[in-house]
Amino acid sequence: MRRPVLAANWKMNLGRTDEALEFVRRIRYPLSEIEGADRVLCPPFTVLAAVAEALAPTSIAVGAQNMHYEGKGAHTGEVSAAMLAGLCRFVILGHSERRAAGGAFETDAAINRKVKAALASDLTPIVCVGENLAQMEAGGTHAWVSGQVAGALEGLSATQVAPCVIAYEPIWAIGTGKAATPADANRVIALSIRAPIAEHYGEDVAQAVRVQYGGSVTVDNIADFMAMPEIDGALVGGASLKPDYVDLVRRAVEASGSR
């Protein structure tokens, strides 16, 4: 059975040390008492070290929101896997908000290099994939999502793929309040993420990879997503900035136990 993984994507919020620590101090004890799931907070780079230190005595993990694929060098404003490795265990890669901004560092090929660099530094990548509204309406979800998965995992061995986390985030559901239906998300994950992984790497690997749903997850809808057999957690944006995020995680773990 796959261990659920709930990741809080703070995006460009709570990036000042005082505000980040105030929030972390409010949620860390109740959140650390919730067993049965990986709980990951992904703050901005500016407070990664402070948040990591505040969470060090707890079972809560820290993640970054992006990284560069090179180890070091003339890459102004960038951060490498080796730099993150001492601070956190997870890193979000290929978030649609970054892919949408475009550029050479968010192509499937670049994300593939980032995944490899993250794994080489013992970071667990949370690889984001998902279709936009036009693709969904045109029936293109499967081709697009399975293509993104193949692109991100290109050239990896089965042992490298197994520990990866994939976040299925339909772009039309992010920050809109219009989440996918749990059944639709479950179907896309089964057909467009797990089935192609099974085909390339074998059924054992496909069953080991943890797949999150993301996009307008709330304390009210999380249980319905977690009740789905293919959904192993969530990547939560807006709702992760509220103190009742702890309730969201608690409900997620309860619902995953009942499936």
Residues marked as catalytic: 95, 169
227 token code pair:
């009740």
Q: Per CB under 6 A, which of residues 155..194 are in contact with ligand PGA?
A: 169, 174-175
Smallest gap from residue 242 Cβ to ligand PGA (A)? 11
For residues 105 and 168, which CB has a smaller minimum distance to ligand PGA in the complex? 168
Nearer to ligand PGA, 44 or 238 (CB): 238
**Which one, 166 or 206, has the nearer CB to ligand PGA?**
166
Residue 228 as a binder of ligand PGA (CB under 6 A): the answer is no
Closest alpha carbon to 148 in 189, 180, 91? 189
Q: Is 247 exposed, middle or buried (0-12, 13-18, 19+ CB in 10 A)?
A: middle
Tokens standing for 214?
């993301």
Q: Is 124 in the site for ligand PGA (CB under 6 A)?
A: no
**How many residues in the chain?**
259
Helical pair 108-120 and 141-153, crossing angle rounded to 10 deg: 40
- Of 84, 214, 222, 253, the residue at the interface with ligand PGA (CB under 6 A) is 214
Residue 53 to residues 18, 20, 62, 74, Cα–Cα distance (Å): 14, 12, 10, 29
- Give the shortest CB-241-to-ligand PGA separation in angstroms: 9
Interface residues with ligand PGA (CB under 6 A) are 9, 169, 174-175, 214-217, 235-239
